Chain A
Amino acid sequence: MFVHLRQDHFLVRPFGQGLRCTPQSIAAHSLYENVDPFHFTESSGIVDITEATYEAVDPITVRVANSHFQPVNPYTIKLEGAELLGYQSVIIGGIHDPFLLRQLDSWLAHVRMYIEETIARVLGDQAAKEDDYHLMFHVYGRDGVMGSLEPEREVISKEVGIVLEVTATTQQLATTIAKLSRQPLLHFPIAEWHGATTAFACLHNPAYIERGAVYRFNLHHVVIPHAPLELFRTKYIEIE
């Protein structure tokens, strides 16, 4: 895009054969990935485009005017940060048994309990503390994509894909727990079938995949520095 900045307006047009800007396309751009399409908070103030006007000056060029900048005092800096959560191993597979699918929540709860009891029994002190490990089932075909926002969670598909994520303080612990989880995933019974069953269609052999280190956002904070550049180091290099 090419922009001419003028005193009280700007002109924007694209390069490229057959491309054009229209008043709508320029106005629409402020929606993308923004919470508020009219106000943009920066360190030294807020850009307010509530009253902005968009005018086609030719078939490919748009003139934008009447945006406002409200300086703010004090100057603010946004901080974002991430931290190590742990290490992950995952098991991917599916379930197609209609009897199981209609009681999936309770079956998964039983499988979870079985895994936790096995961990306590086999690993004892190694995984004794509550936050040493975390088990998460993602159920595709039910609420894998929308999670808590899914409005039709009760609709039963003919099959589901399941990803078990094990997150632990070390990769070795995550993988050990994934290995322990395989048994109940494959064989935890339901009342409808009498005899040995295989409840889970593993995608891989070995069943688990090691993902390595995983992280999470842990900082989203507005700082008010004493002076605007206080938080930044400035280095001067003289070039002869």
Chain B
Amino acid sequence: MKLADIATLIRSKNAGPFFLTFDIMFADEEHYRLVKASRSLNAQMFAALYACPVQTVRFFECDNAFAFKFSIPRPLPQGELGDGDLHGGQQFSPLMNVEIALPAGQSIHIRR
């Protein structure tokens, strides 16, 4: 199952001018726990997806917020010559197709 089918929000944004942060959020604890238990989201898969060194990837599991977060240094500082996204808001789409390994027979309420 693709992450975009389970998450209620996948977004990217600047965290200051030098970092990009990505949030993956769920409507309820059940769906968050399923994805957490799958271990499909981790620093290694993000580093491969965004072709960046794994040691620059910070990964957080936010149990109270029912959310995951990834943060990486921006390839270019905000507004630098060549920067095509001032707010960093349109960098998240590769995350949408990440496959989440779910237990066989697991039923999911598809978001859309």
Contact = CB atoms under 8 A, between A and B. Distances in A.
Nearest to B66: A24
A interface: dominant SS: mixed
A140 to B, nearest CB: 8
B53 interface: no
Given A31-B23, A38-B60, A220 B17 contact: yes
B interface: dominant SS: loop
Contact of A34 (B21, B79, B84): B21
B17 A31 contact: no
A36 B60 CA distance: 8
Interface residues of B, number: 36
A174 to B, nearest CB: 12
Nearest to A138: B84
Given A24-B65, A36-B60, A149-B50, A136 B82 contact: yes
A31 B81 contact: no
B64 A54 contact: yes
B64 A216 contact: no
Given A36-B71, A149-B51, A217 B80 contact: yes
Given A35-B15, A35-B19, A145 B64 contact: no
B73 to A, nearest CB: 9
Contact of B84 (A27, A147, A151, A214): A147
Given A28-B65, A146-B84, A151-B94, A33 B14 contact: yes
B99 interface: no
A217 B13 contact: no
Contacts of A214: 81
Interface string B59-70: 010101111010
Given A35-B19, A38-B60, A148-B75, A216 B81 contact: yes
Contacts of B94: 151
Nearest to A78: B16
B62 A216 contact: no
A37 B17 contact: no
Contact of A31 (B18, B65, B75, B90): B65
Contact of B13 (A32, A144, A148, A167): A32
A144 B84 CA distance: 6
Interface string B66-97: 11010100011111111111000011001000
A85 interface: yes
B104 to A, nearest CB: 29
A149 B62 contact: no
Contacts of B31: none
B25 interface: yes
Interface in B17-69: 17-19, 21, 23, 25, 49-51, 58, 60, 62, 64-67, 69
Interface string A31-50: 11111111000000000000
Interface of B: 13-19, 21, 23, 25, 49-51, 58, 60, 62, 64-67, 69, 71, 75-85, 90-91, 94
Interface of A: 23-24, 27-28, 30-38, 52-54, 80, 85, 134, 136, 138, 143-149, 151, 165, 167, 214-217, 220
